[in-house]
Amino acid sequence: MNIWERMLNIDRRWIFLSIGVVSIIPFLTKIGLPVSTTEEVEDIFTYIDSLGKENAIFISFDFDPGTQAENMPMGVAVMRHAFHNHVPVFLTAYTPLGHGMAGGALDYVTRPSTPGYYTSVDFDEWADIRNAGITDRDELEAAWEEAGNVLPDDSHGWVFEGRDFVYLGYAPLFHLVILGMTSSIETQYPSDAHDNPLSEMPILREHKSLREVDLAVTTSGSSACTAWVIYGREKIGLPVAFGVTAVSATDYYPYIQSGQIIGQMGGLRGAAEYEVLLQQNGITETTDKAFTGMDVQSADHLLIIFFIIMGNIAYFMGGFHRKKQLKGGR
């Protein structure tokens, strides 16, 4: 058996092993293959970057663990951006499993072991400051630090529950919940996922309904994201942005072309693009999981292309195409 025959008869387990090894390498050594940004992702970034503490956004985790690898980095990236600009964030979910995804994202961004994390202050912890009538974001942080609280050196800043974010989570028949929130958020969520009353939260006093919210970013693994367009965008003009899986990204481009959404993150690449924009603008010191995932994808694709090229070379150099023609002519 010559080399060409050996190549065409290679045990497929060696191919699987090669892909496995190549997939692991980017996690051990950062490759950093370039990721260029697209207009639809840049539009979301620019819009959120223009917001401040007087604004507010919704981040809806409308996916389950099946698409977590693609959708989770999108929600995390947008949350980081909002926290950096002190934009108040409402966290919701379209499904019960999405409820856990939202909590996981919040935990990741505020976990001390996460590079560039934000230090979370529970709602009850700053009750005395709140009861003293201090709810302005800058005054609140100053009063908190005057009380003897010191921000860890490796933390990017404070985030106060009820002021900077509220974890609303999931409520049944969520498309009707969106519709109800166009009139009142509190009627749909009397308390948050931690049983804190929304009526006492400064974030809700300033943003009582979706009419007083500036953007909804839905990270979705299904058609759930369209509910935000139907019941938010079309009913009250709520600006909406999509974060969808790669396989469904092309289905939603008409929403961009029609102006119904301000932009879209498509698949893992869309999340990686947002991470690149965060780093380029000094919001984060480094990229995160989506960018690393793109290294894995790119390395695997290059290896597969290499196998295809070598297989074709072996096929023609070994004369197997001529052998097939001879057999067919008999």
Query: Is the confidence at residue 148, as pLDDT, over 70?
Result: yes
Greater pLDDT, 79 or 224: 79
Structure confidence at residue 100 as a pLDDT band (50, 70, 90) = very high
Using one digit for the tens of pLDDT, what is the confidence trace for 67-85?
999 999 999 999 999 999 9
Lookup: tokens for 136: 């302005």
Please count the other Cβ atoms lying within 10 Å of the Cβ belonging to residue 141: 22
Contacts (Cβ under 8 Å, ≥6 apart) of 18: 303
Lookup: tokens for 240: 């909406």
Given the structure tokens 């959404």, which residue do they identify? 261
Q: CA-CA distance, 144 to 284, in Å (whole number)?
A: 24
Q: CA-CA distance, 69 to 112, in Å (whole number)?
A: 22
Q: What is the DSSP string of 158-221?
A: EEEBTTTEEEEEE-SSHHHHHHHHTT-HHHH-SB-TT--BGGG-HHHHH--SGGG--EEEEEES
Q: CA-CA distance, 209 to 171, in Å (whole number)?
A: 16
- The dihedral sign for the CA sequence 276, 291, 59, 105: negative
| Average of per-residue pLDDT values in the chain | 92
Q: How many CA atoms lie within 13 A of 18 on its CB side?
A: 15
pLDDT at 115: 93
pTM: 0.88
Rounded to the nearest 5 degrees, what angle is found at the Cα of 225, between the Cα atoms of 66 and 209?
A: 125
pLDDT at 315: 82
* Stretch among 64-73, 106-115, 281-290, 321-330 having the lowest mean pLDDT: 321-330
Check: CB of residue 38 under 8 Å from CB of residue 273: yes
pLDDT at 328: 57
Check: CB of residue 118 under 8 Å from CB of residue 159: yes
Using one digit for the tens of pLDDT, what is the confidence trace for 246-270?
999 999 999 999 999 999 999 999 9
- Residue spans per domain, the chain: 1-30+290-330, 38-287
Structure confidence at residue 323 as a pLDDT band (50, 70, 90) = low
The SS3 assignment for 281 reads coil
pLDDT at 221: 87
pLDDT at 2: 75
